[in-house]
Amino acid sequence: MQSTSSSNAILNFLYKYGTILTIVVLIAVFAAANPSFIQGNNIINILRSISIVTIIAIGITISLSVNGFDLSVGSIASLSNAIVISMFVWFSQNTFIAIMAALIAALLVGVLNSILIVKVKIPDMLLTLAMMFIIQGIALTYTRGATISQNMIMPDGSFAEGLISPLFGKIGQVPWIIIIMALVVIFVHIFLTYTKHGRYMYVIGGNIEAARLSGIPVNKYKVAAYLMSALFAAIGGIVLASRVMTAEINAGSPYLMDSVAAAFIGFSVLGAGKPNAFGTFIGAVLIGILQNGLVMMSVPYFAMDIVKGGVLALALALTYYKTR
């Protein structure tokens, strides 16, 4: 009996503080292996590297709050990345028009996702998986399967004359990229934790029938969740475009796995037991530290997914064991 109580106490402690303890241990190990790991420049580099992942993961967090799951965020980020750069390079538009075009395109995807999920009743994971491929194909068709960059050769053989705004280029630089990430995390944390609408989303995610019986307009909040998910995916794609100043083919797709991992790791941070913005940020920090430390230790890039997948499996094991 006593050993069972001790085991439960240990599991509860690991559930609440396991992620933060893992971060502390990783920092100690990587710093011992390479003292430059904890230098200021490298810490800033880690924060910069997780900014886009965090922003996209925040969108997934919002969809999870209503017991949904948006797998299309990586493709939405790719589409937004392509549109915002093309507005500059192909159409010589200003920063405002370029950003608004990317955001509107992403919100249209969010509207389509939410209609098919809420009205047609397609399971969200299956629908967003299908949309992931559709939007990926649309982005590839739009870019003609080519990278969009300044002075690129157009289909007619001429050179693109549009220039990317220097103002837009600052968005992806330090400190602005980190500030944008921080503002997104703070905004969504306040929204989900302290507003009526955020609490309604958690009620829907916890028990949708109870939410309906309480008079909460469930469908409207699910639509809002998928619109916000698409919006933050678009912001991630726009920040990525500003950071690299080009639109690479499927540029946002590699961020999907890390974003999903960060969102699910966040469930167990400080024992939250639910999707939350602060936990998602901590999950992204854990992934960023892992990637940065493994690179500094010269671990082959193809082995990194094994480590990240293992960390996600451990986080899910703790979360669902505690739930059970």
Model confidence band, residue 18 (pLDDT cutoffs 50, 70, 90)? confident
Model confidence band, residue 298 (pLDDT cutoffs 50, 70, 90)? confident
The partner residues of 159 in beta bridges, in order of sequence, read 153
pTM, full prediction: 0.95
Whole-number Å distance between alpha carbons of 259 and 46: 15
**153: three-class secondary structure by DSSP:** strand
Taking residues 244-250, what's their average pLDDT?
A: 93
Residues 24-83 have pLDDT tens digits of: 988 999 999 999 999 999 999 999 999 999 999 999 999 999 999 999 999 999 999 999
Largest Cα span, the chain: 79
Domain positions in the chain: 2-323
Neighbours of 81 (CB within 10 A): 31
The amino acid sitting at 143 is: T
Taking residues 240-250, what's their average pLDDT?
A: 94
Q: What does the mean pLDDT of the chain come to?
A: 92
Q: Which two tokens stand for residue 105?
A: 């395109």
Residues 170-219 have pLDDT tens digits of: 999 999 999 999 999 999 999 999 999 999 999 999 999 999 999 999 99
Element (H, E) at 198: helix 196-206
Helix axes 196-206, 176-194, angle to 10 degrees: 70
Model confidence band, residue 128 (pLDDT cutoffs 50, 70, 90)? very high
Architecture category of domain 2-323 in CATH:
Orthogonal Bundle (1.10)
